[in-house]
Amino acid sequence: MNIPMTVRPGLIGVAAFAGMLIVYFGVLTLVSGWSFARDQFAEFWYFVLPLGAGFGLQVALYAQLRLLIRHTDGAGAVMAASGTTSTVAMISCCAHYLVNLAPILGATGLITLATQYQTEFFWLGLVFNGGGVIYIANRLFNAAKEHAKCAMD
């Protein structure tokens, strides 16, 4: 199947969004089981979905930017940083259940910190998402403007 170039970035973004949800559900299911993952999603969906959607949007914008130009001047690094923050924020909502593994991992303090500040981690993830979207969208806007200028010459 031949997918038009203009549709490809959107599909890549949707795949990134789905991938983020798979990571979220996968980690929670591995730690505490499927019913727990489902319950946590039901409780925190209003954070999880925007975090995943923001990451998917960044990936779609980045894919569009790559179609327009080959050199992206750090947009990929910004997307990776905000994507990592989004993932950590989504998983931190349930990190307190990792306490069962903490003696093995030696991370009790880290787990406790994540548990106490899970909502703040969600908000931090959303801020990083917003910053990443703005940065990559700005790069795309400038590249499109330069591309149009070159096409007119």
Of residues 131 and 150, the one with the higher pLDDT is 131
- Using one digit for the tens of pLDDT, what is the confidence trace for 25-44? 998 898 888 998 999 899 98
Say what the alpha-carbon torsion angle 131, 135, 141, 146 is, to the nearest 10 degrees. 170
- Using one digit for the tens of pLDDT, what is the confidence trace for 72-118? 455 556 555 556 656 665 555 555 444 445 454 455 555 555 567 77
- Using one digit for the tens of pLDDT, what is the confidence trace for 94-104? 554 444 454 54
The rounded distance, in Å, linking the Cα atoms of 114 and 127 is 17
Q: What would you report as the CA-atom Rg of the chain, rounded to the nearest whole angstrom?
A: 18
Residue 133 is predicted with a pLDDT of 86
Q: Rounded to the nearest 10 degrees, what angle do helices 75-92 and 34-68 cross at?
A: 170
- What mean pLDDT is reported for the chain? 76
Residue 72 is predicted with a pLDDT of 47
Residue 84 is predicted with a pLDDT of 60
Percentage of residues of the chain with pLDDT beyond 90: 19
Residue 50 is predicted with a pLDDT of 92
The rounded distance, in Å, linking the Cα atoms of 110 and 48 is 21
The rounded distance, in Å, linking the Cα atoms of 153 and 150 is 5
pLDDT band, very low/low/confident/very high, at 139 (cuts 50, 70, 90)? confident
